[in-house]
Every structure is written in C-alpha cells, then in structure tokens.
Amino acid sequence: MTKPRRGANVADLRAALGPLAWAEPLLDRFFNAKEFDEFLERILAAGRSDFFTSAKEQAQLSSSWSDECLARIPRQGPLIVMSNHPHGLADGIVAMDFLLRARPDALVVGNRWLARIPGIRPWLIEVNPFDPEQSDLENIAGTRRILSHLKAGGCILTFPAGEVSSFCFKNLQVQDATWSPQIARIARKVNASILTMHLAGQNSPLFHSLGSLHPKIRTIMLLREFLSHRGKVIRIRTAKAVSATQLEDHPDDDEATSFLRLRCDLLANKNEKVAHA
C-alpha cells in the first residue's frame, strides 16, 4: 500500500491561505499537522473495508442515536440526507458510519481534499470550494455523479451549508451558513425523498474567535479541531423523510430549503432514548 503524502490535507488547506504560506513550520505545529498525518497512517495500516467505522475508532470518536432515529431512514429508493455541519471532518465520519447501517449504498458529498484520506474515495463525491478556476468544472462533475447515483435509487449524504458552522454576530450564536437550494432542486428532478439529520455539538471558542477574523483561518483550523474531538460523543437525530411530492407544498427551491433547514434545527431539542453509542 502507498503511504499517504505527508501533510497532504494540510498542504491543500495551507494553499488557501496564500500569503501566509511562509509560516509553514509554525502552521504545522499550531494546527497539529504531524498528528493528523499519524491519524492517516493508522487508517492506512488498518486496511479495513468498513472505512468510516475504522476512521471513527482511529479518531477516538463516538456517536449515539435512538432506535427510532435509525428506523426513519428509508431502506430503498433515491434518498438525500441533509445535515447540519457543526464540526467538520468528524461530521462526515460519524454520519456515514451511522447512515451505512441502513443504506449500504450511501455516498457523501465532500471537499476535494478529503480524497487524500486513504480509503475514502469509494464513498466520496468530490466538490472543490477552494480553486475558483477549477471549482465550476469539478462541481458540475460532482453534480452529475449525484444525479446518476440518485437515478439508480442510491443514497446521498450532503452538508448543504457547504462549510462548517460558524459564529453569527447577527444572531449571537453558532450556526450553519445559508443552505444551498440546489439540493431541493435535485430532489425534485429525480423524485428523491429527503431526510434531515442533526448532529449535536460545536467547535471550540478558539476556532470561532480566530475564524471570525477571516474564513480562510477558519478553514485551516479544521484539522486542529478534528483532533480535539477525541473522546467526544456526537448525538445523531433524524426526522421523518419528506417525499418529493410533499415538497410541492413549497414550489420555490429557497422556500423548500428553509423548510428543510427548520426541520433540521428543530431536531436539536428532540428527546428520544439513546439505544446505541
């Protein structure tokens, strides 16, 4: 097996900082680049087919959910799962580990740099938020793959905010950015059901404080935050799936997306007995 290139993910994120690249040694130390490389090497050494369960174990992450939460996932037919994005990489790992228990055909839409993680490619639909010159073409390719998978009756996990939750000064709280209406548009096009998922928690005050200075600082801090979540239990909640027919009550894609986001937000206060952790 090929050893992952050192700092592969850090290098991609560092490139987003542009002028700050001169501070590479300091960045590597502050953002725990070496420790993240060791995490990648442990995944590679494990060589397991259950990638997300293995990654969750190697990252020392835990998750919890109720029996009802898992039972709400439709077992067949085109399905889009829309989730909030409070942490970063940890969200994709725990959400896919959970989702694959009901939908072995699930794929996740994620940033291009995630493809650097050994073993993730079979489940990843890549998009590129970093390079304006390449992102349009790559995102078109990603959309085509999403449509193809859904038309075949598959399941897609997406984080429609397109970025990790951040502190909103207007509302004085940590929340997702505006959700993209593209997912509702795709659901109508392929007659897919939509299930909203809520992941509890948030990143550290340091992340939100420094991230408020510039979005690129927030982006490159994600590796440090990921490593800080060791030992954390992320609570997963789901709502009942909404059919494409039910979306007809919200003919405008922006309106439909606001409706779906509200369903996600309301899950934060849903109390069900935890059966799995």
DSSP string, 195-244: EEEEE-----HHHHHHHTT-HHHHHHTHHHHHHHTTT-EEEEEE---B-T
Half-sphere exposure of residue 69: CA atoms within 13 angstroms, side-chain side: 25
Handedness of CA 120, 185, 215, 218 (dihedral sign): negative
Question: What confidence score (pLDDT) does residue 102 get?
Answer: 98
Whether 265 contacts 95, CB under 8 Å? no
Residue from 277, 275, 227 nearest 58 by CA: 227
Distance CA 94, CA 99 (A): 9
pLDDT in tens, 60-83: 999 999 999 999 999 999 999 999
Whether 261 contacts 175, CB under 8 Å? no
Residue 199 phi/psi, 5-degree rounding, is: -110, 125
Residue from 175, 212, 221, 206 nearest 27 by CA: 221
Whether 226 contacts 36, CB under 8 Å? yes
Distance CA 160, CA 85 (A): 8
CATH class name, domain 60-219+230-269: alpha beta
pLDDT in tens, 238-256: 999 999 899 999 999 999 9
Question: What confidence score (pLDDT) does residue 11 get?
Answer: 54
Whether 91 contacts 85, CB under 8 Å? yes
Distance CA 174, CA 211 (A): 12
Question: What confidence score (pLDDT) does residue 104 get?
Answer: 97
Residue 19, SS3 per DSSP: helix
Distance CA 146, CA 143 (A): 5
Distance CA 167, CA 178 (A): 13
Question: What confidence score (pLDDT) does residue 25 get?
Answer: 60
Extended beta strands in 133-176, E state: 155-158, 166-168, 173-175
Question: What confidence score (pLDDT) does residue 241 get?
Answer: 98
Whether 109 contacts 127, CB under 8 Å? yes
Question: What confidence score (pLDDT) does residue 7 get?
Answer: 42
Residue 164, SS3 per DSSP: coil
What are the structural domain ranges in the chain?
60-219+230-269
Low-confidence ranges of the chain (pLDDT < 50): 1-9, 13, 16-17, 132
- The contacts of residue 38 (CB under 8 Å, 6+ apart) are none
Distance CA 93, CA 80 (A): 17
Distance CA 8, CA 130 (A): 15
